[in-house]
Homo-oligomer: A and B are copies of this chain.
């Protein structure tokens, strides 16, 4: 039997306390809406952490005990301490899964991991989003239909400032006329990175069964295989000096 998979769901957790529409969609916070269905997965243990906890809830001890970190942030990226960002970044490179959700495209940690702009177009309107699976054999989309719709979502449009995905998983179609690379994966050091677009704070996206299925698959896909601290060792030659 595989070992327990330890997931930490991080949420900024500000919008749900200040915006009525967000409070309505996620009365216990987005982190709880994300964590709850994961808790039902066999072999998965889930904790949560939020911005206003000391060290944003992401101490070295918590990260040491985390296999996969899910990140939701939106309006307070600048309030995340650089020291915590560096700690998470280092932990990913040593070997931890990282799942960046929605407006995490502009979070310090996503920008640090990708080295890119994270830029995109956006619109909060009445757009309908349809996510198309472009890579049907990928573990992240098992049990997910060929496409699924989210009746109302914030629109994100291309060009999206990311490194060329190693595997592109989803492309979104928006009723307003745009497209977006909504699911993409990369290897980062010994860790794995998955960006997944949907999840505006005022829409019930994380209650959608397909979205929940994607996240359930993603935490298992992102499980680390190793943990290797960064080192640049000076080494002796393996071969005798040539004459």
Chain A interface residues (CB < 8 Å from chain B): 89, 93, 95, 106, 112-117, 119-123, 125-128, 130, 132-139, 142, 146-147, 155, 157-161, 163-164, 166-168, 171-179, 181, 186-191, 224-226, 228, 230-242
Question: B173 touching A173 by the CB < 8 A rule?
Answer: yes
- A114, closest chain B residue (CB): B115
15 sample A-B contacts, Cβ–Cβ < 8 Å, listed by A number: A89-B115, A117-B189, A122-B232, A123-B236, A132-B157, A132-B179, A135-B187, A137-B189, A139-B225, A155-B237, A163-B163, A168-B168, A171-B179, A173-B174, A240-B242
Chain A contact surface mostly: loop
Q: Across the two chains, which residue of chain B brings its CB closest to A157?
A: B235
Give the residues in chain B near A106, CB-CB below 8 Å. Answer: 232
Alpha-carbon distance between A166 and B133 when the two chains are bound, in angstroms: 19
Chain B residues with CB under 8 A of A191: 137
Please judge, given known A-B contacts A230-B119, A232-B120, whether A137 and B190 are in contact too, CB under 8 Å: yes
**Contact residues in B for A179 (Cβ distance below 8 Å):** 132, 171-173, 179
Residues on B with C-beta less than 8 A from A232 are: 106, 119-122
Q: Determine the residue in chain B with the shortest Cβ distance to A225.
A: B137
**Contact assessment for A93 and B117 in the assembled complex, using a CB-CB cutoff below 8 Å:** yes
- When C-beta atoms are compared, the residue in chain B nearest to A182 turns out to be B179
Cα distance, A137 to B163, chains bound together (Å): 13
Task: Evaluate contact between B187 and A167: CB separation under 8 angstroms.
Answer: yes
Distance, CA A126 to CA B241, complexed state (A): 8
Q: Determine if B138 and A181 form an interchain contact, defined as CB atoms under 8 angstroms apart.
A: no
Q: How far is the CB of A53 from chain B (nearest CB, A)?
A: 26
CA of A138 to CA of B130, assembled, Å: 27
Assess A123 versus B237: contact at CB under 8 Å? Given A167-B187, A190-B137.
Answer: yes
The reply to whether A116 and B237 form a contact with Cβ atoms under 8 Å apart is no
Q: Which of B112, B139, B178 contacts A238 (CB 8 A)?
A: B178
With A139-B225, A230-B117, A237-B176 already in contact, the answer to whether A159 and B134 are too (CB < 8 A) is: yes
Q: How far is the CA of A226 from the CA of B115 in the complex (A)?
A: 19
- Measured between beta carbons, the chain B residues less than 8 angstroms from A173 are 173-174, 177-179
Across the interface, name the chain B residue whose C-beta is closest to A167: B164
